[in-house]
Structure 1
Amino acid sequence: MSCSDRWLALSIGNSRLHWAAFSGNDLQQTWDTPHLSAADVQQLIATQFTKSAFHPSLHDNADGAHMPLWIASVVSQQSLLWQKYDAATFITLEQVPLAGLYPTLGIDRAIAALGAIAIVGRPVLVIDAGTALTFTGVDGARLIGGAILPGLGLQFQTLQQATAALPNALPAALPASEERVAPQLLPPRWALNTTDAIASGIIYTLVAGLQAFVNDWWQQFPASPVLLTGGDRDRLYAYLTATMPAMASKLTVEPQLIFWGMRSVRGESLKAES
């Protein structure tokens, strides 16, 4: 692929920025960064993303052409920083070809559902384990609906911040090679210390809620795939595998749903322009 085929996808989440470099329809690399300052964004635009500290895969983008940047954002303050970049395209709900999308639906949920449709078809249920834990169900070309609750990390942080003496008891993550299959991630259900008691209350309640939503979805759509994505996807998959392995074995962990959805939106936009 030539440099002219290259483009970037940026998903602006509540906690981090999620980046992907594409060559045409081929996903080359993904990486995450913290939210950027205005000065950081200005420097990236001025250097055409070749700033050495940004990402090595983009160092050869020095031909003077503006790198196309497709953005899906749930954080308006971060979006505003890119408004003056003339090669930026901001994806909106109007560009997502699904019926039943309501005005306050998060663009990340809509695009992740579109990405799930692109790789497994429909109906499909997407569970996004990010700062918020969301359920988004799609059948045919229509949104069925969903739910939102605080994500795993946020539940631990909130309990710590809202109480005088409770610690942040989120269990330490294991290496990625071990995370999905490690039952030792689970705390004792009937705990004998405060840290384990917090972990038990949050984790086992969350797992039970996941089971309830997934089983209800399967009652309506028995053959439907269920995809798990988001930053805590592997940790939640490990909890589900340890507590209800039969159900977990039917789930698919797919970290790049948002980028598959952004690729679909871009493809439809390019078709419309040609």
Structure 2
Amino acid sequence: MKLICIDVGNTSIHYGLVESQSVNHTGHFPTSGLKDGVSPELAELLQPLAVEAEGISFCSVVPDINSNLVASLAGLGLSVFHLTHASCEGLALVYPKPSEIGQDRIANAIAAQAFHGVPAIVIDMGTAVTFDIVSSKGYEGGIIAPGLQVMTRYLHEQTALLPELKADDLIEVEGAIGKSTVHAMKLGVAVGFSGMIDALLQRVTNELQSRGEAAPVVLSTGGSIANLTKDWAAKSRFVQNLTLMGLAVAFQRNETA
């Protein structure tokens, strides 16, 4: 079954045509384009995908634009499914307040559960870094930490003399002792970012194994994975478009529930 899957983020809407673990025709659309009402432009972008698709599945972290999104999709003539904490068939939410869980994080957990097994730790490296833990009990919770962009922007904005680093500046940083201001910043952010991820991962892994869970599958997704040190990156399995895959699984589970 081919589905149009849409992940609504704070700044960008990511979409693609999904069939199982195959994701094609991906693209982005600014979330602000739905702020004031229906968007003919989004519908036009998705029309070629709708020819092949059998439905639409979406998640959103911007509730205020959800009705505009659904209205924009109406002309495509496909059934629309919204993944929430109340519609995640097949994934138990072992969490005190399920309504607080980000819908994209639920989608990631479903994809991990469906395609990689549990226990699993999903690390999504976007503006913020999120860890989501799926055990034999279900979705248990996670961790939210500063992302790479937050680190670099904060250093620049909160100081008078430090420049703003770009993501590409942080790949393959050499040495251990900075020999200039920029070199020192690169080491602090690049090595520090990897170290933060490593420390959080070890803490979660220890917690799971102390409870008798098997060694978890570690999945990573998101653009900042390229900025992890090589030794760390080998500790995870990178899966592009994991959220979109999870949305497709969620749609199909609800169709058969």
Instruction: Place the TM-score, normalised by the shorter chain, in its bin.
Output: 0.7 to 0.9
Match of 2:238 among 249, 253, 256: 253
Q: 1:250 and 1:24 mapped to 2: Cα distance? A: 25
Q: Which residue of 2 aligns with 1:17?
A: 13
**Aligned-pair CA distance for 1:201:** 1.6
Aligned pair 1:99/2:93, yes or no?
yes
The TM-score, its normalising length taken from structure 2, stands at 0.81
Superposed CA deviations along residues 211-256 of structure 1, whole A, max 9, x for unmatched, are 11222333334521100111222333xx2x1xxx2x5433100012
Q: Which residue of 2 aligns with 1:145?
A: 141
Q: Which residue of 1 aligns with 2:197?
A: 210
**Aligned-pair CA distance for 1:13:** 1.6
Aligned pair 1:167/2:167, yes or no?
no
Q: 1:155 and 1:35 mapped to 2: Cα distance? A: 23
CA 122–24 in structure 1, closer or farther in 2 if over 3 Å, else same: closer
Q: Which residue of 2 aligns with 1:70?
A: 57
RMSD of aligned alpha carbons:
2.9
Superposed CA deviations along residues 151-198 of structure 1, whole A, max 9, x for unmatched, are 111211122222233211234269xxxxxxxxx622543213222222
Q: 2:100 and 2:167 mapped to 1: Cα distance? A: 33
Contact 1:70 1:91 in 2 (8 A): yes
Q: 1:147 and 1:271 mapped to 2: Cα distance? A: 32
Q: 2:8 and 2:93 mapped to 1: Cα distance? A: 24
Equivalent residue letter for 1:18: H
> Larger deviation: 252-261 or 82-91?
82-91
- Unaligned 5+ runs, structure 1: 175-183
How many matched pairs? 242
CA 227–43 in structure 1, closer or farther in 2 if over 3 Å, else same: same
Superposed CA deviations along residues 117-163 of structure 1, whole A, max 9, x for unmatched, are 11110000001001110111111132333211111112111222222
Aligned pair 1:81/2:78, yes or no?
no
**Aligned-pair CA distance for 1:264:** 1.6
Q: Which residue of 2 aligns with 1:190?
A: 177
CA 78–234 in structure 1, closer or farther in 2 if over 3 Å, else same: farther
**Aligned-pair CA distance for 1:17:** 1.5
Equivalent residue letter for 2:6: L
For the residue of structure 2 that corresponds to 1:233, the secondary structure is: helix
Equivalent residue letter for 2:113: I
The TM-score, its normalising length taken from structure 1, stands at 0.76
**Aligned-pair CA distance for 1:75:** 2.0
Q: 2:169 and 2:26 mapped to 1: Cα distance? A: 21
Q: 1:161 and 1:67 mapped to 2: Cα distance? A: 46
For the residue of structure 1 that corresponds to 2:245, the secondary structure is: helix
- Unaligned 5+ runs, structure 2: none
**Aligned-pair CA distance for 1:80:** 4.0
**Aligned-pair CA distance for 1:20:** 1.2
Q: Which residue of 2 aligns with 1:129?
A: 125
Answer 1 or 2: higher relative contact order, Cα 8 Å, separation at least 6.
2
Which stretches of structure 1, 4 residues or more, deviate above 4 A after TM superposition?
23-26, 60-63
Aligned pair 1:233/2:225, yes or no?
yes
Aligned pair 1:42/2:34, yes or no?
no
Contact 1:234 1:253 in 2 (8 A): no
Q: Which residue of 2 aligns with 1:59?
A: 48
Q: 1:231 and 1:118 mapped to 2: Cα distance? A: 23
Q: 1:31 and 1:122 mapped to 2: Cα distance? A: 30
